[in-house]
Amino acid sequence: MAVTSKTDICNLASDLLSGATIADIDNPSSADEELYARWYDHCRKKALREHPWNFAAKRIILAASSTTPVFGSTVAFPLPADFMRFITIQTEEGRQYSTEEYYLENGSILLTRDSGGATQMRLRYVYDIEDVTKFDAMFVDYLAHTIAVSLAFKITESNTSVQRVEQLKKQQGAIARAVSGQERPPTRIVRSKNRALRLSSSGSNVSHRIVF
């Protein structure tokens, strides 16, 4: 049977715990259904935050805020409402920022002092995807394991069961992240001449490093 709903994923989690069948977490009518309804969305967001999943990747061009940060940066770019995790950020010209050139604070990306008057930023990110029919099959399995770990002791009252599903989650997570990583090409980071000289004190015009 295809997994097409939140309730389907919760039933996979319940199976891992030898639990009862969950009829509907949107309209819970039992204690177990209320429990899964309470934990589902938290676990979904947690699982999305744990890896730059390809199926949940999204692109957007951010506009600079009209409000300048008080200190430490010359420009801020407010994050989209559905932002979950960085993948990459680029300049208007397509040069990818290195991790030394930005930081996340209070719902915005802030650049370091040498922002060069940037007014736009290209962001690739993991978004807050809710449509189960668009989930990768391996993510579905990983999310079910994440939910099962969160509810294992509450439902089974057994430390052995907790340890068992934690180990299963660890194994499934390693496989899912490896497959997602293999399907994403390496990214080349190109630093600006001035930035590279300050960081490495070398005489080259640009520096490169490959990130997987």
Q: What is the pLDDT of residue 199?
A: 42
**26 pLDDT above the threshold of 80:** yes
Q: What is the pLDDT of residue 95?
A: 86
Q: Up-side HSE of residue 182: CA atoms within 13 Å toward CB?
A: 6
> For 1-14, how does the pLDDT look when each residue is reduced to its tens digit (9 = 90+)?
789 999 999 999 99
Q: Where are the domains of the chain?
A: 6-51+130-182
Whole-angstrom distance, CA of residue 151 vs CA of residue 143: 12
Q: What is the pLDDT of residue 113?
A: 63
> For 173-191, how does the pLDDT look when each residue is reduced to its tens digit (9 = 90+)?
899 889 888 876 655 544 4
Higher pLDDT, 184 or 42: 42
* 171 neighbors 191 (Cβ within 8 angstroms): no
> For 46-97, how does the pLDDT look when each residue is reduced to its tens digit (9 = 90+)?
999 999 999 999 999 999 999 988 888 889 999 999 999 999 999 888 888 8
As a whole number, mean pLDDT of residues 122-143 equals 97
